[in-house]
Amino acid sequence: MSQANRPRKRVSYACTASLASIAVAGCATGARVQFTTAQSLDALNVEVAKAVREYHAEIRAADTERRHAAVDAFAARIRASRDDGDATTQHVGQFNQALDQLQTDAEAENERLNATLDNLSLVTEAAAGLRRIAVESMTLNDEVRRYLTVRLSPPSASNELEGE
Tens of pLDDT, residue by residue, the chain (164 residues): 444 444 444 444 444 444 444 444 444 457 888 888 999 999 999 999 999 999 999 999 999 999 999 999 999 998 988 888 898 899 999 999 999 999 999 999 999 999 999 999 999 999 999 888 888 887 777 777 777 777 777 765 445 445 54
Give which of 109, 130, 108, 115 is closest to 38, Cα–Cα: 130
pTM: 0.58
Distance CA 53, CA 45 (A): 12
Q: What angle do CA 145, 150, 152 make, to 5 degrees?
A: 90
Q: What is the pLDDT of residue 35?
A: 86
Query: How far is Cα of residue 149 from the mean position of the Cα atoms in its chain?
Result: 42
Q: What is the pLDDT of residue 99?
A: 93
Distance CA 55, CA 100 (A): 22
Q: What is the pLDDT of residue 156?
A: 57
Q: What is the pLDDT of residue 73?
A: 92
DSSP symbols for 51-73: HHHHHHHHHHHHHHHHHHHHHHH
Q: What is the pLDDT of residue 57?
A: 94
Angle between helices 85-152 and 31-80 (to 10 degrees): 180
Residue 84 DSSP class: -
Residue 154 DSSP class: P
Query: How far is Cα of residue 46 from the mean position of the Cα atoms in its chain?
Result: 10
Distance CA 49, CA 114 (A): 11
Query: How far is Cα of residue 45 from the mean position of the Cα atoms in its chain?
Result: 6
Q: What is the pLDDT of residue 7?
A: 45
